[in-house]
Amino acid sequence: MPDAPLVRLDRDGDIGVITVDYPPVNALGPGVAEGIIEALKKGNADPAVRAMVLIGAGRSFIAGADIRGFGTARKRLPLGERVYDILDAATKPMVAAIHGYALGGGLEIAMACHYRIAVPSAKVGLPEVLIGILPGGGGTQRLPRLVGPKVALEMITSGRHVPAPEARTLGIIDEVLPADADLRAGAIAYARKIAAARPLPRVRDHDERLAEAKADPGIFDAIRKSIARRARNQKAPYNCILAVEAACTLPFDQGIAREQELFAELENSDEARALRYAFFAEREAAKLPDMPVGVKPREFANAAVVGAGTMGGGIAMSFADFGYPVRIMDASKEALDRGMERIRANYATSVKRGSLAQDEMERRLARIQPVAGYDDIGDADIVVEAVFEEMDVKKPIFRALDKAMKPGALMVSNTSALDIDQLAGETARPQDVAGAHFFSPANVMKLLEVVRGAKSSPETLLSTMAMGRKIGKLSAMAGNTDGFVANRSRGPFNSEMVILLEEGCLPEQVDKVMVDFGYPMGPFAVGDLAGLDIGLASRKRRAAQNPNYRKLPIADRVAELGRYGQKTGAGWYRYEKGDRTPHPDPEVARIIKETAAELGVPQRSFTDQEILRRLLFSSVNEACRILEEGKAYRASDIDVMWLHGFGFPRYRGGLMYWADQIGVRDVYNQIAAWNQQYGERWAPSRLLRELAESGTPLREAKAAPMH
Write down the least CB distance from residue 469 to ligand T1G, Å.
8
Q: What is the distance between the alpha carbons of residues 569 and 571, in angstroms, rounded to a whole number?
A: 7
Which residue in 108, 385, 449, 502 binds ligand T1G (CB under 6 A)? 108
Which residue in 93, 104, 237, 531 binds ligand T1G (CB under 6 A)? 104
Which residue in 17, 27, 129, 474 binds ligand T1G (CB under 6 A)? 27
Task: CB nearer to ligand T1G: give 131 or 155.
Answer: 131
DSSP state of 602: P
Task: CB nearer to ligand T1G: give 321 or 503.
Answer: 321
Write down the least CB distance from residue 448 to ligand T1G, Å.
15
Choose, from 34, 38, 81, 108, the residue flagged as catalytic.
108
SS3 content of the chain, % helix, strand, coil (to 5): 50, 10, 35
Task: CB nearer to ligand T1G: give 283 or 707.
Answer: 283
Q: What is the distance between the alpha carbons of residues 217 and 259, in angstroms, rounded to a whole number?
A: 19
Look up 108 and say whether it is catalytic.
yes
Candidates 60-68, 90-98, 408-416, 577-585; binding stretch for ligand T1G (CB under 6 A): 60-68
Choose, from 34, 38, 81, 128, the residue flagged as catalytic.
128
Write down the least CB distance from residue 622 to ligand T1G, Å.
28
State yes or no: residue 93 binds ligand T1G (CB under 6 A). Answer: no
Write down the least CB distance from residue 69 to ligand T1G, Å.
8
Which residue in 18, 20, 65, 240 binds ligand T1G (CB under 6 A)? 65
Write down the least CB distance from residue 24 to ligand T1G, Å.
4
Q: What is the distance between the alpha carbons of residues 204 and 684, in angstroms, rounded to a whole number?
A: 59
Task: CB nearer to ligand T1G: give 67 or 465.
Answer: 67
Beta bridge partner(s), residue 95: 53, 115
**Total Cβ atoms within 10 A of residue 507:** 28
Q: How many residues of this chain bind ligand T1G (CB under 6 A)? A: 23
State yes or no: residue 67 binds ligand T1G (CB under 6 A). Answer: yes
Look up 267 and say whether it is catalytic.
no
- Mark residues 563-582: x for contact with ligand T1G by CB under 6 A, - for none: --------------------
What are the strands, taking DSSP E only, across 145-206?
Answer: 162-163, 175-176
Q: What is the distance between the alpha carbons of residues 535 and 540, in angstroms, rounded to a whole number?
A: 9
Which residue in 16, 56, 137, 297 binds ligand T1G (CB under 6 A)? 137
Candidates 132-140, 149-157, 318-326, 562-570; binding stretch for ligand T1G (CB under 6 A): 132-140
**303-306: strand order across its sheet:** 368-370, 326-329, 303-306, 382-385, 410-413, 433-438, 447-452, 474-479
**101-103: strand order across its sheet:** 101-103, 123-125, 162-163
Write down the least CB distance from residue 308 to ligand T1G, Å.
31
Q: Which amino acid is at 646?
A: F
User: Which residue's Cβ lies closest to ligand T1G?
Assistant: 104
State yes or no: residue 64 binds ligand T1G (CB under 6 A). Answer: yes
Write down the least CB distance from residue 473 to ligand T1G, Å.
12
Candidates 100-108, 488-496, 522-530, 651-659; binding stretch for ligand T1G (CB under 6 A): 100-108
Which residue in 97, 110, 113, 128 binds ligand T1G (CB under 6 A)? 128
Which residue in 7, 131, 187, 384 binds ligand T1G (CB under 6 A)? 131
State yes or no: residue 651 binds ligand T1G (CB under 6 A). Answer: no
- Mark residues 279-318: x for contact with ligand T1G by CB under 6 A, - for none: ----x-----------------------------------
- Output Rg (C-alpha) for the chain, integer angstroms: 28
Residues 212 to 271: which contact ligand T1G by CB under 6 A? none
Which residue in 9, 22, 40, 66 binds ligand T1G (CB under 6 A)? 66
Task: CB nearer to ligand T1G: give 66 or 622.
Answer: 66
State yes or no: residue 78 binds ligand T1G (CB under 6 A). Answer: no
Task: CB nearer to ligand T1G: give 67 or 433.
Answer: 67
Cβ neighbourhood burial of 568 (10 Å; 0-12, 13-18, 19+): middle
Task: CB nearer to ligand T1G: give 259 or 622.
Answer: 259
Q: How, if at all, do strands 123-125 and 101-103 pair?
A: parallel
Which residue in 1, 2, 3, 24 binds ligand T1G (CB under 6 A)? 24
Q: How far is CA 501 from the centre of its chain?
A: 32
Question: Are the CB atoms for 520 and 580 separated by under 8 Å?
Answer: no
Which residue in 7, 39, 52, 103 binds ligand T1G (CB under 6 A)? 103
Q: What is the distance between the alpha carbons of residues 343 and 348, in angstroms, rounded to a whole number?
A: 9
* DSSP sequence for 362-419: HHHHHHEEE-SSGGGTTT-SEEEE---S-HHHHHHHHHHHHHHSPTT-EEEE--SSS-
Q: What is the distance between the alpha carbons of residues 323 and 466, in angstroms, rounded to a whole number?
A: 15
State yes or no: residue 139 binds ligand T1G (CB under 6 A). Answer: yes
Q: What is the distance between the alpha carbons of residues 604 and 507, in angstroms, rounded to a whole number?
A: 15
State yes or no: residue 163 binds ligand T1G (CB under 6 A). Answer: no
> Hey, CA dihedral for 686, 691, 697, 701, is it positive or negative?
negative
3-state secondary structure 611-674: HHHHHHHHHHHHHHHHHHCCCCCCHHHHHHHHHHHCCCCHHHCCHHHHHHHHCHHHHHHHHHHH
Question: Are the CB atoms for 555 and 536 separated by under 8 Å?
Answer: yes
Give the residue numbers marked as catalytic.
108, 128
Where do contacts with ligand T1G occur on this chain (CB under 6 A)? 24-25, 27, 63-68, 101, 103-105, 108, 127-128, 131, 133, 135-137, 139, 283
